[in-house]
């Protein structure tokens, strides 16, 4: 980019040549080489608009500048052809990265190492650290992108507000408390890593998205009969496997991990909220790399998973009082789709009765005065008054 600026400056000063909308040229080097050849074949005035400056001054003080822009059909076609070629190269690069299973990367937040496909690392950072840079299939030149982000963190710079901090702990606390675990959408440096920015000549992802939204509004219809909702995928409790329905996910967990969620629900008579607490409990234990069957902590989830499957600890749940606690009403991961797919049918009410849960019945307030006289609150208030 520095060399490009020097070249543009040289052409303006030495040759009075100005190239319009340079940022819209997909391949600057090929563009320059093309016009370098054409200028040797025909006079520059056959291609460029002539702009005379100081036209009211004496003739010796006047000067002519040459503007090369896409008003010229040949220039427009060249720019479009370079854009198509660039898009083809980008899509080929993206396809190669999508199919590459030799990717090697380290998480920027916990230093966990990942091998295989790039999506494993990107999904890990999204699920474990709430850091989402977009779907893997929308990203190109992923290694360069991750290196750019890592360099900013190494320089103690927040990825969102781009402020610099004195040490890593301060930066980490800032990004967590301010919810800045995301990239700055206004930073044009990141545009090169998203395929959408190569789709149309001279249009950024914001402009493309705005056009799509306008098109939807223009063609909006009242008939929603053909609407098909695309279900969100639920993630396995023990690995990265995803499924669109809880039935498919339960089959996977039973076959791969010998964990039968539906059977546990039936045998323990769990209502909807108890299922939520159980799922959140297991999620937290797995996140902390701790086996809930023997309470041993491991260095990685892979080691934990191997241990639990070999020792048959996936189905070895602790006592109910361990996980049936209010703290597990809160999900371990944001937007955990599995929680939304749990059953909340009327049969849960029967299960709750079988569990012996206490049913709360309102007091008879027909004799309100007598109730006030005999209420236990009187004794509590009296004791509190004596203490004071």
The packing angle between helices 73-99 and 28-41, to 10°, is: 150
268 with 289, same domain? yes
55 vs 133, higher pLDDT: 133
- Count Cα neighbours of 167 within 13 Å in the Cβ-side half-sphere: 2
Task: Specify the range with the lowest mean pLDDT, choosing from 80-89, 256-265, 345-354.
Answer: 345-354
Residues whose CB falls within 8 Å of the CB of residue 190, separated by 6 or more in sequence, listed in order: 145, 148, 183, 184
pLDDT at 146: 94
323 with 245, same domain? yes
pLDDT at 326: 85
How do the residues of the chain divide into helix, strand and coil, expressed in percent and rounded to 5? 55, 10, 35
27 with 77, same domain? yes
126 with 179, same domain? yes
308 within a domain of the structure (yes/no): yes
State which of 308, 323, 340 marks the end of a domain.
340
168 with 68, same domain? no
260 with 307, same domain? yes
Cβ-contact 23, 203 below 8 angstroms: no
Q: What percent of the chain clears pLDDT 70, i.e. is strictly above it?
A: 80
113 with 157, same domain? yes
158-172: pLDDT as tens digits: 999 999 999 999 998
pTM across the whole model: 0.50
335 within a domain of the structure (yes/no): yes
367 within a domain of the structure (yes/no): no
217-245: pLDDT as tens digits: 665 655 556 656 556 678 889 888 888 77
246 with 200, same domain? no
315 with 241, same domain? yes
- Count Cα neighbours of 63 within 13 Å in the Cβ-side half-sphere: 8
**E strands along the chain, which residues?**
17-19, 49-53, 63-68, 103-106, 113-116, 234-235, 242-243
21 with 79, same domain? yes
106 with 83, same domain? no
Cβ-contact 153, 159 below 8 angstroms: yes
- Residues shown for the chain: 388
63 with 148, same domain? no
In the DSSP assignment, the letter for residue 22 is: G
Q: Is the pLDDT of residue 143 over 90?
A: yes
- Which domain range does residue 182 map to? 100-212
Cβ-contact 70, 76 below 8 angstroms: yes
353 within a domain of the structure (yes/no): no
What is the tally of structural domains in the chain? Answer: 3
- What's the average model confidence in pLDDT over 107-114? 90
343-362: pLDDT as tens digits: 755 444 444 444 444 444 45
Q: What percent of the chain clears pLDDT 90, i.e. is strictly above it?
A: 33
383 within a domain of the structure (yes/no): no
44 within a domain of the structure (yes/no): yes
295 within a domain of the structure (yes/no): yes
pLDDT at 2: 73
C-alpha to C-alpha distances, 286 to 30, 237, 238, 254, 319, nearest whole angstrom: 53, 8, 7, 17, 17
122 within a domain of the structure (yes/no): yes
């Amino acid at each position: 980019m520095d060399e490009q600026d020097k070249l543009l400056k040289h052409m303006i000063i030495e040759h009075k040549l100005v190239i319009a909308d340079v940022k819209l040229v997909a391949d600057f080097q090929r563009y320059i080489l093309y016009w370098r050849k054409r200028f040797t074949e025909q006079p520059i005035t056959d291609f460029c608009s002539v702009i005379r400056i100081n036209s009211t001054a004496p003739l010796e003080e006047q000067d002519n500048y040459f503007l090369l822009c896409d008003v010229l059909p040949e220039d427009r076609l060249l720019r479009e052809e370079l854009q198509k070629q660039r898009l083809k190269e980008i899509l080929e690069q993206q396809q190669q990265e999508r199919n590459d299973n030799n990717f090697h990367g380290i998480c920027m937040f916990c230093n966990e190492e990942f091998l295989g496909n790039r999506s494993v690392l990107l999904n890990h950072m999204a699920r474990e650290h709430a850091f989402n840079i977009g779907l893997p299939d929308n990203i190109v030149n992923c290694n360069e992108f991750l290196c750019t982000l890592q360099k900013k963190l190494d320089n103690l710079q927040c990825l969102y507000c781009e402020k610099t901090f004195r040490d890593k702990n301060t930066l980490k606390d800032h990004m967590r408390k301010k919810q800045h675990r995301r990239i700055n959408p206004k930073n044009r440096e990141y545009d090169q890593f998203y395929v959408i920015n190569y789709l149309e000549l001279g249009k950024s992802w914001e402009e493309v998205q705005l056009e799509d939204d306008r098109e939807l509004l223009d063609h909006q219809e009242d008939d929603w009969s053909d609407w098909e909702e695309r279900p969100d995928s639920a993630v396995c409790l023990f690995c990265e496997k995803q499924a669109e329905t809880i039935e498919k996910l339960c089959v996977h967990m039973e076959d791969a991990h010998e964990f039968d969620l539906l059977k546990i629900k039936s045998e323990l008579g769990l209502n909807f909220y108890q299922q939520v607490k159980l799922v959140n409990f297991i999620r937290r234990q797995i996140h902390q790399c701790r086996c809930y069957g023997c309470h041993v902590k491991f260095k990685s989830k892979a080691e934990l998973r191997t241990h639990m499957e070999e020792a048959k600890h996936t189905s070895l749940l602790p006592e109910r009082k361990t996980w049936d606690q209010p703290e597990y009403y809160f999900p371990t991961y944001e937007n955990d789709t599995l929680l939304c797919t749990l059953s909340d049918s009327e049969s849960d009410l029967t299960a709750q009765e079988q569990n012996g849960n206490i049913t709360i019945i309102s007091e008879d307030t027909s004799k309100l005065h007598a109730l006030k006289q005999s209420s236990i609150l009187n004794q509590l208030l009296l004791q509190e008054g004596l203490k004071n």
